[in-house]
Amino acid sequence: MVEAGLRVNPIHVIDLAVVLPAFALAGASALRGRATGLFLVGPMLTFSVLVLASLVAAVRYLREDRTDDPLANPRAEGHTEKSR
């Protein structure tokens, strides 16, 4: 984000502007017993599980010790600021 000159993460903007309101509308519609809300609850729950799984996988990947990989660890031997 810093290199691109962005002040905010575009993924967060999309989540807050589109996904979160859609979840709220579908949930309210499902609670009222409307067919559209009941139809959308399944795909939205599936989407939530898939997003959660991808976040868990990303955190596990980032926490791995990859000291030999110069791309993952800029302090690895042979990797300098000039080589970027």
26 falls within a domain: yes
Give me the pLDDT at residue 74, please: 59
Task: Give me the sign of the Cα torsion angle 9, 10, 11, 16.
Answer: positive
Q: What is the pLDDT of residues 1-40, one digit of tens each?
A: 667 777 888 888 888 899 999 999 999 999 999 999 999 9
Which of the 8 DSSP states describes residue 57? H
Q: How many domains does the chain have?
A: 1
75 in a domain, yes or no?
no
Q: Is the model's pLDDT at 68 over the cut of 80?
A: no
Tell me: pLDDT of 45 over 90. Answer: yes
d(CA 7, CA 71): 24
Domain that holds residue 36: 11-68
Residue 30 lies in a domain: yes
pTM: 0.61
* CA–CA distance, 58 with 80 (Å, rounded to integer): 26
pLDDT at position 16, please?
86
Question: Is residue 36 domain-resident?
Answer: yes
